[in-house]
Amino acid sequence: MTNLKNLISKLHNDTRGVTAMEYGMIAAATIVAIAGFMTTISGKLSTIFSTISSSL
């Protein structure tokens, strides 16, 4: 029974995986932001290239 308590105590105090999870969440948020930006700018770029193409 004390081995189980020790194991639970060790798992509770172990913070190594938390840092990796935080980096994963930051990476996911960055990807979502980039995807949103690309979606927004793609329509504007299409308009710009169409204007340039028709001008030529």
Q: What is the pLDDT of residue 17?
A: 66
Average pLDDT, the chain: 84
Q: What is the pLDDT of residue 23?
A: 87
Q: What is the pLDDT of residue 4?
A: 84
Q: What is the pLDDT of residue 26?
A: 93
What are the CB-based long-range contacts (under 8 Å, 24+) for 4-7? none
